[in-house]
């Protein structure tokens, strides 16, 4: 294990951030979380210190960065609903870009130079080819994806101008939960397939809508790449170590590399839970490509990242245990 470091996790009370906090604590690091609790829960923190506040609050950031010596920052705080970003882009650019810029500038001014930023497959827009590697054109088709693309651009320019070092990690679909079911996914509103389908199977939601059965895929439903949230957290720790070891600023795509269709996910859920998933067919949604699958070979090669929970069955099993536990 590397020497203990002190990390700031912004958005550490949310779904992915809370698994990151767990991963850092397991690795023996000290953790401070900054979260405004707008979409997260303090119960999600399995340890560390919580500071409740907004990541765009420069006065608070100056106080935090003067009061602690952070070896790095992991930035998960963001608004995440694609549909909402289309009808209210101001809200998304304000939170995801303006506040993030304030935070990055504060890091720079305080001489903290290791940032891991949560980006997304949405920076790519309509795929030109799959699996999608880092060189794929970035043409986001909604303000959510554009907001992440803008921050990636800011990070590139900060590196060129100030030598500010960062790694942006573009996740495809985060899924699963802590194998001990202490924490898991709990967005409000929920828009992700696996929790929606599990909740439909439990009768907590109406029938799940399957958007399109006429795609050019083996069973006609869309294919997506699901990566276990603990595997994502491991990649962040490896990316931090990469920067601490002098690695240059870069971006990595993070995914399973294997796509699963909506129907395959539903079949797996029925197998794991032993319950039928009530589902009804609905028309295709605008902007939903047939396939979105990551080529994560650069992260594997450069960081030595090896996802542990690559099979869909295990991902669903962990999500199901969490869903039962949260009741
Ligand atoms: N969930 C996915 O599948 C997925 C896929 C690709 C990218 N991402 C990115 O990963 C990150 C985390 O996603 P998540 O699913 O854990 O989301 P989440 O909503 O569960 O967590 C976000 C956390 O940030 C906090 N937050 C939001 N705005 C804040 C602010 N201004 N100041 C301080 N805290 C604030 C929220 O309270 C919440 O705890 C996001 O940046 C998201 O864009 C997620």
Instruction: Give the pLDDT confidence of 196-234 residue by residue, as tens digits.
Output: 999 999 999 999 999 999 999 999 999 999 999 999 999
pLDDT of residue 2: 55
Q: Is the CB of 145 under 6 A from ligand 1?
A: no
- pLDDT tops 70 at residue 1: no
Question: How far apart are the C-alpha atoms of 320 and 301, rounded to whole Å?
Answer: 32
Q: How many CA atoms lie within 13 A of 322 on its CB side?
A: 24
Per-residue pLDDT band for 117 (boundaries 50, 70, 90) equals very high
- List all residues 6 or more positions away from 98 whose beta carbon is below 8 Å from its beta carbon: 56
Q: Is the CB of 292 under 6 A from ligand 1?
A: no
| CATH of region 193-223+258-296+309-326 | 3.90.25.10
| CATH of region 6-176+226-255 | 3.40.50.720
pLDDT of residue 310: 86
Residues of the chain with CATH 3.40.50.720: 6-176+226-255
Name the DSSP letter for residue 270: H
Question: How far apart are the C-alpha atoms of 19 and 25, rounded to whole Å?
Answer: 10
Residues of the chain with CATH 3.90.25.10: 193-223+258-296+309-326
Q: How many angstroms is it from 12 CA to the middle of ligand 1?
A: 8
Mutational test site, ligand 1, from 13, 15, 75, max ligand atoms within 8 Å of CB:
15
pLDDT in tens, 179-190: 999 999 999 999
Contact 75, 118 (CB under 8 A): yes
pLDDT (mean) for 309-319: 96
Q: How many angstroms is it from 75 CA to the middle of ligand 1?
A: 9
List the one residue out of 68, 145, 50, 132 whose CA is nearest residue 106.
68
Question: How far apart are the C-alpha atoms of 306 and 301, rounded to whole Å?
Answer: 9
Say if strands 291-292 and 223-228 run parallel, antiparallel, or are unpaired.
Answer: parallel
Compute the mean pLDDT over every residue in the chain, rounded to the nearest whole number: 96
């Amino acid at each position: 294990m590397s020497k203990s470091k002190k990390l700031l996790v912004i958005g550490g009370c949310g779904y992915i951030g809370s698994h990151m906090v767990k991963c850092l604590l397991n690795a023996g690091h000290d953790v401070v979380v900054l979260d405004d609790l707008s979409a997260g829960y303090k119960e999600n923190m399995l340890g560390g210190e919580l500071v409740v506040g907004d990541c765009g609050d420069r006065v608070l950031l100056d106080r935090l960065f003067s009061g602690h010596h952070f070896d790095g920052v992991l930035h998960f705080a963001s608004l995440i609903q694609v549909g909402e970003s289309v009808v209210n882009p101001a809200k998304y650019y304000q939170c995801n870009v303006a506040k993030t810029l304030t935070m990055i500038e504060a890091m720079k001014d305080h001489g903290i130079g290791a940032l891991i930023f949560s980006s997304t497959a949405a920076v790519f827009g309509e795929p030109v080819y799959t699996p999608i590697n880092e060189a794929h054109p970035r043409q986001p088709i909604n303000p959510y994806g554009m907001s992440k693309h803008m921050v990636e651009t800011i990070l590139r320019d900060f590196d060129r101008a100030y030598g500010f070092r960062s790694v942006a990690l573009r996740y495809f679909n985060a899924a699963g939960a802590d194998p001990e079911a202490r924490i898991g996914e709990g967005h409000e509103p929920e828009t992700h397939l696996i929790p929606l389908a599990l909740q439909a199977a439990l009768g907590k939601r109406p029938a799940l809508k399957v958007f399109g059965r006429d795609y050019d895929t083996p069973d006609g439903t869309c294919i997506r790449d699901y990566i276990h949230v603990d595997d994502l957290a491991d990649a962040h720790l490896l990316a931090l170590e990469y920067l601490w070891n002098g690695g240059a600023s870069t971006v990595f795509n993070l995914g399973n590399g294997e796509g699963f269709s909506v129907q395959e996910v539903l079949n797996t859920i029925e197998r794991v839970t032993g319950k039928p998933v009530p589902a009804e067919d609905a028309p295709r949604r605008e902007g939903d490509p047939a396939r979105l699958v990551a080529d994560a070979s650069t992260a594997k090669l450069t960081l030595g990242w090896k996802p542990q929970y690559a099979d869909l069955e295990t991902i669903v099993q962990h999500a199901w245990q969490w869903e039962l536990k949260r009741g």
